[in-house]
Chains A and B, each alone.
Chain A
Amino acid sequence: QAVVTQEPSLTVSPGGTVTLTCGSSTGTVTSGLYPYWFQLRPGQAPRTLIYDTSNKHSWTPARFSGSLLGGKAALTLSGAQPEDEAEYYCLLSYGAAGPVFGGGTKLTVL
């Protein structure tokens, strides 16, 4: 099974910008792996922020955006807020081999 890699932890200052990345052991991440991004906060249902690389749901704050960057999927947070402190997971879909989550990034806003 493919391995999906994320930064274990990142820190961003309030109002700052940070980029989280999502890599694949199979090589370059393309739109064909349909990258997703999720936010997990304690005591809350997980929330899907980005689907299919860069598409947002109606509930996705405008400060979050998804892209492909340097052979990886990327989630960029511009103008970090205290409530953005959370764990973020990406998901890549490998067709018949199924979807695989990354190990998650713990984002601290400090």
Chain B
Amino acid sequence: QLHLQESGPGLVKPSETLSLTCTVSGDSITNHDYHWGWIRQPPGKGLEWIGSIYYGGNTYYNPSLKGRITILADASKNQFSLKVTSVTAADTAVYYCARVLGPTGPDFWGQGTLVTVSS
């Protein structure tokens, strides 16, 4: 049974780097049928696509966040990760990881983890 679990600090200081990891069980991130992605939802607002990675090496980053985000994959741990640099309060959100069907959309989501940016 597929399961995705986000992990990482729940509180990050302004200007620092937000780092999250998604651990996948029940599938392999090397599965060529899927990409692996990150999505977030700020409190009281809608969903925002952050980016995705295909184990073959291709990544897609939301242009509005480009330059601040990095998504990496670690096949040995069956994990993929997200880093967001120079965070501000606007980066406060529930962050979800997801399995992505091709480059088009997520079919399975993690539970999500709240990250608050505050001093």
Cα-based distance from A44 to B112 in the complex (angstroms): 9
B48-A51 in contact (CB<8A): no
A99-B104 in contact (CB<8A): yes
Quote the shortest CB–CB distance from B22 to chain A (angstroms).
12
Flag whether A102 is at the interface (Cβ < 8 A): yes
Quote the shortest CB–CB distance from B77 to chain A (angstroms).
21
* Complex interface: chain B residues within 8 A of A45 (CB): 96, 109-112
Number of interface residues of B (CB under 8 A): 22
Flag whether A93 is at the interface (Cβ < 8 A): yes
Q: Is the interface of B mostly helix, strand, loop or mixed?
A: strand
B46-A104 in contact (CB<8A): yes
* Complex interface: chain B residues within 8 A of A85 (CB): none
Interface string of A74-105 (1 = CB under 8 A from B): 00000000000000010101000111111110
Q: Which of B23-31, B59-67, B68-76, B84-92 contacts A (4 or more CB under 8 A)?
A: B59-67
Number of interface residues of A (CB under 8 A): 24
B-side interface residues toward A, CB under 8 Å?
A: 39, 41, 46-49, 60, 62-64, 96, 101, 103-112
10 new A-B contacts at CB < 8 Å, known A36-B105, A93-B105: A34-B105, A36-B106, A46-B47, A46-B96, A47-B109, A51-B104, A51-B105, A98-B63, A99-B49, A99-B105
A-side interface residues toward B, CB under 8 Å?
A: 1, 34, 36, 38, 40, 44-48, 51-52, 57, 89, 91, 93, 97-104
